[in-house]
Chains A and B, each alone.
Chain A
Amino acid sequence: MNIHIKNGRLIDPKNNIDMVRDVFIAGGKIAAIGAVPGGFVATQVIDASGLVVVPGLIDLAARLREPGYEYMATLESEMEAAVAGGITSLACPPDTDPPLDEPGLVEMLKHRALDLNQAHVYPVGALTSGLKGQELTEMAELVDAGCVAFSQADAPLTDTRVLMRAMQYAATFGFSVWLRPQDSFLAKNGVAHDGEVATRCGLPSIPVCAETIALSTMLSLARETGVKLHICRLSSAAGVEMIRAAKRQGLAVTCDVSMNHVHLSEMDIGFFDPNCHLSPPLRSLRDRAALRAGLQDGTIDAICSDHSPVDEDVKQLPFAEAEAGATGLELLLPLLLKWARQDKLALPDALAKVTLQPAQILGLDAGHLSAGAAADVCVFDPDACWKVEPGALKSQGKNTPFNGIEMQGKVRYTLIDGKLVYRS
């Protein structure tokens, strides 16, 4: 199957390309950019006039809910949602039931995903057995089974000795440890940022120091152990500043932010909208501005969807009782474009946060369209407008704070390994 994507505006942050260029795909790989390679005969031509051609998006946090939570979402539904969102690779956190703490579970997930022939799935293994924060998992075995990093997901790891040992062990093999910074005592029962809105609404709150205290522990232990540390879903201005300082001091730390936090703040909770019950909590407008500034100056490396499909029974409840999380795979690209428009960013810089940068965090040779690279491609219409409605989403999770909001930018074609897996 030879595909010729013609007349599209090609944006490839890694190769510094932003111009109209044809893309030639053969044997699942990028055969050439610009000029037709010798002997190339297209079996399919995609006319991308007026469209943008970019590397397939890479999402660092997408919950597929398998195994264990199939009532919330299935691999089938969420993989379909991913390609509809132009996402060709995704990392899934280990917070399944049971958690991804045994090679067999990881192999099963990889196998199921492979059968579906859609986005590449990169499981993040559990850092501790059962995510209980007590015993280490068989990290090397888990990597052999397909894990790309290790994480506690949102489960607490209060024993700092265990955390240090886990980092040391991971560092032994050169594995990455991904952690979300939140002190579990300070965050206990909290559902909203400890600020004006929580005070007004009477919601149990989580102070910013829950993030900074945990972050300080994690950064200290990373210095101590030399582990490759990735910080997941930063939420506060103070957190951004700590990462900035750590990077300035030369610590090899990377971090991401959820797309929800790029756009929303505590104010969006309004009259207790359970769709805005997220973890970490939406913080103040000042925090949101700092997260955006951190993205611009490179302190924050990547943006993830933090996709968490939740079923209606556990979402349609009073705010604090509602399950945290929102669906996000299909909103990642339009919300990225919205952010780029709002902050007047060059599109290649914005797109790097969901292509090249997450690929580097995952240690993958992906997120670019160099000749010879896997042909994971997203082609989108930057002008097409659509409205977020539950019925319009492929994901089984219909819960999102962006319900009813007009989006600009729609995926037209998604290709994975040179195969057209989605078109609209």
Chain B
Amino acid sequence: MKNPQLNKHGELQHLLTTEGLPVGIIRDILDRATTFVDISDGLEIKKVPLLHGKSVFNMFFESSTRTRTTFEIAAKRLSADVVNLNIGSSSTSKGETLLDTVDNLCAMHADMFVVRHAQSGAAHFIAQHVAPEVHVINAGDGRHAHPTQALLDMFTIRHYKKEFHNLRVAIVGDVLHSRVARSQIHALTTLGVPEVRVIAPKTLLPAMVENLGVQVYNDMVQGLRDVDVVLMLRLQNERMQGAALPSAQEYFKYYGLTVEKLARAKPDAIVMHPGPMNRGIEIDSSVADGSHSVILSQVTFGIAVRMAVMSMLAGTK
């Protein structure tokens, strides 16, 4: 089956998922992002003209402030024209089909769509139907994938740990409903991390998750032993209604990241979270704000990684 995110030359045409993304392309994105971190840090120039004259449409069918904002900043720093469409509250509620919306936006000569949608596979669906010159970036589709989040996580890990081949990484929390977890798992295994663990109660793990190349732990204390990186996941409040969990309090007691539990990890372990955090539910404030936390670096690097992806897709070569 043809990889839907690569063109016939094996170059990135869309960024839809980290699954099946060649390791060379992942490394190129991370390397390119490094150059943008320097730009963002330098006070004089924050803007480069790589996407000058290009139109980037942020199509958010599901609300998100943070991700949309970072994509918008990234596009603007690349000198693109950015259009934000909050589609959840416009056309689809008037009965327009997703394909009609896509066709209309293509007719406005968009160069790139940044898509967030509540349904798994929505970004693939849109990528299959856009005009051939349009690029699609998946900014999160259902439970399936959130590749730019995973790539910025990889960037952050590389920044602090330098290498991937000697790491033990634990992903903690609601793996079942998490697009972030899936994308992290594929990115980590592709980059050669020898041991990826997932830690969660059985109600928050999908069937046969071990087939993704991870080790499953139901006990967080055991699962965190000697890990180098702890990737926390956000817990949605709805999980209590769906009978997946009894209470936030019990969840925090057994699966919330506290200083005591983190003591099982390596002394130089880093703690990450895709945000927004539920303090006191999946992570204790003393950890979130503590010395192991690199959560704010993730946000900063997120802009650089998104600049890297956008410029690789549509930038002047």
A residues engaging B (CB < 8 A)? 194-196, 198-205, 207, 270-272, 274, 313, 316-321
Contacts and interface: CB of A to CB of B under 8 A. Distances in A.
Contacts of B212: 199-200
Given A271-B4, A313-B97, A320-B142, A205 B207 contact: yes
B81 interface: no
Interface stretch (B121-129, B188-196, B257-265, B270-278): B121-129
B207 A196 contact: yes
A187 to B, nearest CB: 14
Interface string B86-128: 0000000000011100000000000000000101111011000
16 contacts: A199-B212, A200-B19, A201-B120, A202-B144, A202-B182, A203-B144, A207-B207, A271-B1, A272-B120, A316-B99, A318-B119, A318-B120, A318-B125, A319-B121, A319-B125, A320-B121
B98 A317 contact: yes
A346 B120 CA distance: 43
Contacts of A196: 207-208, 211
B182 to A, nearest CB: 6
B25 to A, nearest CB: 18
B145 interface: yes
B121 A201 contact: yes
Given A196-B207, A318-B98, A318-B122, 18 more contacts: A194-B207, A195-B208, A196-B211, A199-B206, A199-B207, A199-B211, A201-B120, A202-B141, A202-B143, A204-B143, A205-B206, A205-B207, A271-B1, A271-B124, A316-B97, A317-B125, A318-B120, A320-B121
Nearest to A284: B208
A319 B119 CA distance: 8
B179 interface: yes
A318 B207 contact: no
B306 to A, nearest CB: 21
Interface of B: 1, 4, 19, 97-99, 117, 119-122, 124-125, 141-145, 179, 182, 206-209, 211-212
B145 A202 contact: yes
A202 B79 CA distance: 34
Nearest to B178: A202
A196 B182 CA distance: 12
Contacts of A204: 143
A351 to B, nearest CB: 33
B288 to A, nearest CB: 26
Contacts of A271: 1, 4, 121, 124
**B1, B99, B119, B143 — which one has the most chain A CB atoms within 10 A of its CB?**
B119
A272 B125 contact: yes
B16 to A, nearest CB: 8
B148 to A, nearest CB: 16
B207 A317 contact: no
Contacts of B19: 200
B125 A270 contact: no
B209 A199 contact: yes
Contacts of A317: 97-98, 125
B58 to A, nearest CB: 18
Contacts of A316: 97, 99
Contacts of B206: 198-199, 205
Contact of A272 (B97, B124, B179, B182): B124
A77 B272 CA distance: 58
Contacts of B125: 272, 274, 317-319
